[in-house]
Amino acid sequence: MAIELVTLAQAKAHLRVRHDHEDSDIQLKLNAATRMAIVYLDRDVYESQAALDAAIAAGAARPYPLLVTDDDMDMVRAGILLTLGDLFANREEVVTGTITSQLPTGAKACLRPLRRLGA
């Protein structure tokens, strides 16, 4: 991932958390939500051509990179925040022994237009 798509401060504001004692748990879930969005999109996200060029030069860019506009970035951030909210609210699995990798419906709606075709 080339950039920090959602900051801890943005995540805490979305979750309406004002204290600091859950920061490490929120950061863990934020990292997971971000990774889930990247996996769903099947492409890395870059906010500038310079960042994309640097990743290509470093050999770190995957195929089909997504260079986002401000509107697209809002959709990516919303998808991540919706997923984060779900992870934060549902701290335990509902069904024992089942691993869910499904994104919340709202998150999919935000991310689907940016998803790599054929993914």
pLDDT of the chain, 119 residues: tens digit per residue? 446 899 999 999 999 999 999 999 999 999 999 999 999 999 999 988 998 999 999 999 888 999 988 889 999 999 999 999 999 998 776 545 555 557 888 888 888 888 887 75
Residue 18 lies inside a defined structural domain of this protein = yes
| CA neighbor of 115 nearest in space, from 86, 70, 79 | 79
Q: What is the pTM of this model?
A: 0.81
pLDDT score at 2: 47
Residue 3 lies inside a defined structural domain of this protein = no
Cα 108 from Cα 106, distance rounded (Å): 5
Q: In the numeric block, which tokens belong to residue 20?
A: 């600091």
Residue 33 lies inside a defined structural domain of this protein = yes
Residue 1 lies inside a defined structural domain of this protein = no
Domain range spanning residue 50?
Answer: 8-114
Phi, psi (rounded to 5 degrees) for 111: -90, -25
Q: How many domains does the chain have?
A: 1
